[in-house]
């Protein structure tokens, strides 16, 4: 009898270890390449699980339109409301619904803001898994798996969600030298799900907001009705929020692709269900926040840092004013405040147009600056003054390769060649000027792409990435 018990115990232990190993390998292989050092989907969801119980006031859900639009840290800074953004790329409403249920296991948000763009578009299986794979194994995840499996048993194999290795085993063949190495951003959740956009659209001259208010119908336009399944998910979200006493707010971000038919459906749905709907493509709101889709979007449908600031600030005013939500000081949001400042500073570097402006905004204690200037560069007096502030010893007719590392307080420069390490000595840099031909190699990548006379690269040691490469 003892032998059977011992054998059974050993078998159980073996199966447990194998299960844990398969789960570990599956999570490693399912982890997608992160779109930015500002954002890692896995870290965003783990950050939600890491919040103190009942410490959340506002939950944001939706697609990439949502994670570019709603900045929880800014919301806290302007209103004291503690927000968190669980939007993901191409997030379908079924995922939004089940993540709402999952959040309610540990949090009691007073408002849920849902960006509605992907009510009208099909999501895909990889995008769905990006959002669902990080969900801890719970009744909600099992329920979501059963529902998806009923829609397509082959595409959504239930075991592949519990053991992602089943779905991602082919990735062994992919050339990933650092397959088991943690991505730098993994485990970091400084921005609480917000993904700052840095580009500037500059292609929206033909865009005009609808003259109708958010809940007014546009005459002569048909309704674009979502598919039945997506609509059922929205209905379930609305019912769940109603039962839990949560204010559900529907929102549409500024977009050149947003149609009158989509507006009409949402206006009708919101009015008939008694749910607030804020269409930022409505002239009433668009003009109230002085929005400019040309300069405050990064593309056709996603706000950049400037646009997100206007949208988030306006929403904060509605939440505290119209809905009476009150803020509360919380160390979880206080501690992440400095990172929002770094984002703003990085955007200023990215957006600088002149060398004088560029050099001024680049003088921050979290930057490492790489610079080459050849003998033919003609500097303005203002540029010379800013170069001196950087600690560069240079005069017209000379050449210089320089590295200014603000974190360490060091300035290194040579005439035609300079090399060393950066980012806590993890990576190498190599700067050179051979026959006035500039080269800036950072982490084995060439950053000089033209034949101008001054080249500059700015590396951010907080988010640990190259903010910008420019030439003048």
Residues 270, 132 share a domain: yes
Residues 240, 128 share a domain: yes
- Summarised one tens digit per residue, pLDDT across range 88-103 is 999 999 999 999 999 9
Q: Checking DSSP bridges between strand 111-115 and strand 277-279, what pairing results, if any?
A: unpaired
Domain membership flag for residue 285:
yes
- Summarised one tens digit per residue, pLDDT across range 1-52 is 656 555 655 556 554 554 444 444 445 444 554 456 788 888 899 999 999 9
Residues 113, 45 share a domain: yes
Distances (CA, A) of 166 to 137, 170, 177, 385: 16, 9, 22, 60
Residues 295, 194 share a domain: yes
Residues 359, 271 share a domain: no
How far is residue 303's CA from residue 310's CA, in Å, rounded to a whole number?
Answer: 10
Domain membership flag for residue 178:
no
Domain membership flag for residue 306:
yes
How far is residue 102's CA from residue 243's CA, in Å, rounded to a whole number?
Answer: 15
Last residue of a domain, one of 288, 310, 341: 341
Give yes or no for a contact between 120 and 260, defined as CB atoms under 8 angstroms apart.
Answer: no
pLDDT at residue 159 in the model: 85
Question: Which percentage of the chain shows pLDDT scores above 70?
Answer: 87
Domain membership flag for residue 313:
yes
Last residue of a domain, one of 274, 308, 341: 341
> Is residue 416 predicted with pLDDT exceeding 50?
yes
pLDDT at residue 155 in the model: 86
pLDDT at residue 34 in the model: 45
Residues 319, 372 share a domain: no
Residues 253, 207 share a domain: yes
Three-class secondary structure of residue 36 per DSSP: strand
Number of structural domains (the chain) is 2
Which CATH number is 165's domain given? 3.40.50.1110
- Summarised one tens digit per residue, pLDDT across range 458-467 is 999 999 999 9
- Summarised one tens digit per residue, pLDDT across range 177-202 is 444 444 444 456 899 999 999 999 99
Give yes or no for a contact between 372 and 430, defined as CB atoms under 8 angstroms apart.
Answer: no
Query: What is the CA angle 270-271-276, rounded to 5?
Result: 50
Question: Which percentage of the chain shows pLDDT scores above 90?
Answer: 79
How far is residue 54's CA from residue 109's CA, in Å, rounded to a whole number?
Answer: 8
Q: Which residues on adjacent β-strands are paired with residue 36?
A: 39
Give the domain extent around 407: 355-471
Domain membership flag for residue 347:
no
Q: Tokens for 358?
A: 């560029």
Residues 401, 280 share a domain: no
Taking alpha carbons only, the member of 180, 124, 135, 127 closest to residue 161 is: 135
How far is residue 440's CA from residue 347's CA, in Å, rounded to a whole number?
Answer: 22
- The pTM score is 0.88
Last residue of a domain, one of 306, 341, 376: 341
Residues 375, 333 share a domain: no
- Summarised one tens digit per residue, pLDDT across range 245-271 is 999 999 999 999 999 999 999 999 999
Domain membership flag for residue 315:
yes
| Burial readout 365-375 (b: 16 or more C-beta within 10 A, e: otherwise) | ebbbbbbbbbe
* Mean pLDDT, the chain, whole residue set: 90
Residues 201, 63 share a domain: yes
Q: Which residues contact 388 (CB under 8 A, 6 or more apart)?
A: none
DSSP letter for 197, please: -
Tell me the pLDDT band of 434, cut-offs 50, 70 and 90: confident
Q: Which residues on adjacent β-strands are paired with residue 248?
A: 112
Domain membership flag for residue 327:
yes
Domain membership flag for residue 2:
no
Residues 455, 306 share a domain: no
Residues 141, 205 share a domain: yes
Q: Which residues contact 96 (CB under 8 A, 6 or more apart)?
A: 61, 62, 114, 233, 237
Q: Which residues contact 291 (CB under 8 A, 6 or more apart)?
A: 254, 280, 285, 307, 310
């Amino acid at each position: 009898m003892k032998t059977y018990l011992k054998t059974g115990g050993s078998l159980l232990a073996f199966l447990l270890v194998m299960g844990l190993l398969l789960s570990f390998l599956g999570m490693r292989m399912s982890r997608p390449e992160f779109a930015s050092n500002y954002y890692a989907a896995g870290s965003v969801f783990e950050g939600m699980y890491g919040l103190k119980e009942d410490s959340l006031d506002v939950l944001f859900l939706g697609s990439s339109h949502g994670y570019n639009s709603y900045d929880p840290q800014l919301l806290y800074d302007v209103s004291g409301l503690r927000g968190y953004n669980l939007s993901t790329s191409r997030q379908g409403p079924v995922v939004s619904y089940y993540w709402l249920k999952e959040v309610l296991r540990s949090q009691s948000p007073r408002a849920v803001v849902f960006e509605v763009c992907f009510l009208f578009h099909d999501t895909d299986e990889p995008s769905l898994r990006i959002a669902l794979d990080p969900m801890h194994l719970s009744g909600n995840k099992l329920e979501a798996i059963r529902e998806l499996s009923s829609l397509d048993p082959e595409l959504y194999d239930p075991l592949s969600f519990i053991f992602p290795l089943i779905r991602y085993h082919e990735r062994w063949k992919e050339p990933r030298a650092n397959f088991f190495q943690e991505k730098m951003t993994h485990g970091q959740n400084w921005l609480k799900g917000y993904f700052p956009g840095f580009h500037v659209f500059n292609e929206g001259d033909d865009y005009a907001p609808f003259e109708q208010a958010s809940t007014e119908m546009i005459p002569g336009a048909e309704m674009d009705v979502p598919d039945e399944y997506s609509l059922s998910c929205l209905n379930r979200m609305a019912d769940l929020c109603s039962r839990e006493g949560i204010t559900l707010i529907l929102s549409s971000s500024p977009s050149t692709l947003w149609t009158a038919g989509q507006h009409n459906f949402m206006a009708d749905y919101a009015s008939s269900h008694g749910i607030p709907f804020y269409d930022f493509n409505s002239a009433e709101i668009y003009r109230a926040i002085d929005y400019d889709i040309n300069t405050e979007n990064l593309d056709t449908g996603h706000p950049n840092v400037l646009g997100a600031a206007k949208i988030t600030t306006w929403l904060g005013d509605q939440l505290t004013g119209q809905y009476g939500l009150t803020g509360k000081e919380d160390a979880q949001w206080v501690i992440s405040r400095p990172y929002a400042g770094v984002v703003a500073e990085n955007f200023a570097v990215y957006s600088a147009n002149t060398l004088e402006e560029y050099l001024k905004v680049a003088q921050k204690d979290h930057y490492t600056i790489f610079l080459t200037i050849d003998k033919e560069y003609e500097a303005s007096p203002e540029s010379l003054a800013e170069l001196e502030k950087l600690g560069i010893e240079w005069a017209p007719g000379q050449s210089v390769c320089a590295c200014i590392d603000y974190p360490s307080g060091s300035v290194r420069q040579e005439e035609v060649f300079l090399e060393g390490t950066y980012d806590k000595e993890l990576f190498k840099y190599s700067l050179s000027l051979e026959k006035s031909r500039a080269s800036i190699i950072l982490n084995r990548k060439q950053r000089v792409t033209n034949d101008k006379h001054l080249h500059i690269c700015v590396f951010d040691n907080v988010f640990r990435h190259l903010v910008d490469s420019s030439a003048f």
